[in-house]
Amino acid sequence: MDTKIDQLKQIIPEKYILRQEPMKNHTTFRIGGPADIFVAPENMEEIKAVSCFAKEEGIPLFVLGNGSNLLVADDGMDGIVLQIYKNYSGIEVCGNELIVKAGTLLSSTSRAALNEELTGFEFAGGIPGTFGGAVVMNAGAYGGEMVQVLKEVTVLTKEGEIKTLKAEELELGYRTSNVLKNEYVVLEGVIALKKGNKEEIKAKMDEYALARKTKQPLEYPSAGSTFKRPEGYFAGKLIQDAGLKGYQVGDAQVSEKHSGFVINRGNATASDVMQLISDVKDKVKEQFGVTMEPEVKRVGRF
C-alpha cells in the first residue's frame, strides 16, 4: 500500500491521508478495526480524484460520512475509506432553499434552517448523520423524510461524471434510494423549505429533542435504530415482547431504555453485535413469526 499512498499524495494533501486508521474512531458505534487507507478530502475535485484513482487501480472504495448506522468488522476494511464529513461541509442559503454539502451534519442543517426561519426540516435535527448519508437512506423521523424536502442532488457517478439529479430520479423510499445501486457519491443537495415562525420551529425542534433524550439511549455509543420497522409492527416492541430488553452479548446490549437500539457499553466488538443481532432475529422469528431485517449496514472483513 506504500506505493498507493505515495500516488494519493499527488492527488490530495498528505495531512488528509491516514494508514491503518482505526475505524472505531470514525463510527458512532465506536466499533471497528483499521482501514488500509483513510482519506478525508476537502473539495469536490479531490473527492472525484480519489474515486477515479480507486477505480483505475482496482482498489475497493467505501464512502463514509460520520459513521452512523454502520457496523465495521473487527478486522477492519480493505482498500480506501473516503470520508465525506467535516472537511467537506457547509451550507449556502438561497431564499427558501438550502444548498448543503454532503458532509454537513443534519443537526447543523436544521439549525441553519431555524436561523433563516425556514420550516420543514425540524424532523432531522436529532438524526445522527450527514446530509449525504441522509439522501442515500432517505432518512426520516417523526413523520418527516428527506423525500419531502429534497429538491435535487449533485452526485459523482461511477464513470467519474459530476451531474445534478432531481429528487424524483433517486427512487427515494423507506430507508432506501438508488444511490447505492447506481454507485453514486452524493456531493451536495438542495432542500426546499417554507417560511415559518422561528419560535414555533424552535419549539418543535425542542419537542423532538426531548423525545429523543427521553426515549433513546443517547448516553451510549450506538448506530441508531438497529432494525428496520417490519410492516405492521414496531421493531422495539417486538424485541421487548420477546423478553430481550437488556439482553447482552459481551459489551453489546439491547438497550434497556429502547429495545430498538443495540448499544456499546464500553468495549463491544463487531462480533458481539452480530451475535446479538442474530439472537434477536431468531427469538423474534420463533415467537412471532416476524423476520427482522437489520437497518445497520455491515462493512469490512467479516
Same domain, 65 and 106: no
| Domain-embedded: residue 208 | no
Flag whether pLDDT at 169 surpasses 80. yes
Amino acid identity of residue 79, one-letter, is G
Percent share of the chain, pLDDT over 70: 100
Asked if the structure places residue 131 within a domain, the reply is: yes
181: confidence class by pLDDT, cuts 50, 70, 90: confident
- 96/82 same-domain check: no
pLDDT confidence band for 82 (50 / 70 / 90): very high
Q: Which residues pair with 98 in a beta bridge?
A: 93, 191
Kindly give, in sequence order, each residue whose CB lies less than 8 Å from that of residue 301, ignoring residues fewer than 6 positions away: 33, 73, 75, 76, 77, 78
Catalytic residue among 97, 171, 183, 295: 295
Q: Please indicate, yes or no, if residue 102 is contained in any of the structural domains.
A: yes
Within this chain, do residues 151 and 66 fall inside the same structural domain, yes or no? Answer: no
List strand residue ranges (DSSP E) for the chain, in order: 17-22, 34-39, 61-64, 70-72, 77-83, 91-94, 97-101, 118-119, 140-141, 144-145, 150-156, 162-166, 185-192, 194-195, 222-225, 248-249, 252-254, 261-264, 297-299
Q: What is the CATH number of the domain that holds 48?
A: 3.30.43.10
Domain stop point among 200, 231, 258: 200
Q: What is the pLDDT of residues 202-259, one digit of tens each?
A: 999 999 999 888 989 989 999 988 999 899 999 999 999 999 999 999 999 999 999 9
| Domain interval for residue 292 | 217-299
Q: Are residues 229 and 279 in the same domain?
A: yes
255 is a catalytic site residue: no
Task: Return the half-sphere exposure (C-beta side, CA atoms, 13 A cut-off) of residue 44.
Answer: 16
Whichever domain contains 255, its CATH number is 3.90.78.10
- 1 pLDDT exceeds 80? no
Q: Convert the pLDDT of each residue in 15-45 to its tens digit.
A: 999 999 999 999 999 999 999 999 999 999 9
**Is residue 296 within 8 Å of 223, Cβ to Cβ?**
yes
- From 57, 169, 175, 212, active-site residue: 175
Strand partners, 91: 100
How many residues belong to the chain? Answer: 302
Instruction: Indicate if 79 and 103 belong to the same structural domain.
Output: no
Radius of gyration of the chain (CA): 20
Told to judge if 225 belongs to the known catalytic residues of this protein, a careful annotator would answer yes
When divided into structural domains, the chain yields a total of 3
Our answer to whether residue 175 is catalytic in this structure is: yes
Number of other CB atoms surrounding residue 149 within 10 Å: 22
Average pLDDT, the chain: 95
Q: Could you give the CA distance from residue 153 to residue 64 in angstroms, rounded to a whole number?
A: 17
Instruction: List Cβ neighbours of 241 (8 Å cut-off, separation of 6 or more).
Output: 287, 288
Q: Please report whether residue 206 resides in a domain.
A: no
- 93 in the same domain as 78: no
Catalytic residue among 177, 222, 225, 259: 225
Structure-block grid coordinates of residue 208: 423532538
* pLDDT confidence band for 286 (50 / 70 / 90): very high
115-125 per-position pLDDT tens digit: 999 999 999 99
pLDDT of 168: 94
**Could you tell me the pLDDT band of residue 134, with boundaries at 50, 70 and 90?**
very high
Are residues 122 and 31 located together in one domain of the fold? no
Please say which residue of 132, 166, 200 terminates a domain.
200
Examine residue 212 and state whether it is found in any structural domain, yes or no. Answer: no
In a domain, 239, yes or no: yes
Sign of CA dihedral 272, 278, 279, 281: positive
Quickly count: other Cβ atoms within 10 Å of residue 9's Cβ: 12
* 153 shares its domain with 82: no
pLDDT reading at 10 higher than 80? yes
Strands 185-192 and 97-101, sheet pairing: antiparallel
Q: Is residue 209 part of a domain?
A: no
Pairwise CA distance, residues 110 & 125, whole Å:
5
Does the structure show a pLDDT above 90 at 4? no
Last-in-domain residue among 86, 102, 117: 86
Residue 76 pLDDT > 90: yes
pLDDT at 84 over 90: yes
* C-alpha distances out from residue 187 to 40, 87, 198, Å: 13, 12, 29
- Whether 97 and 190 map to the same domain: the answer is yes
Q: Are both 115 and 156 inside the same structural domain?
A: yes
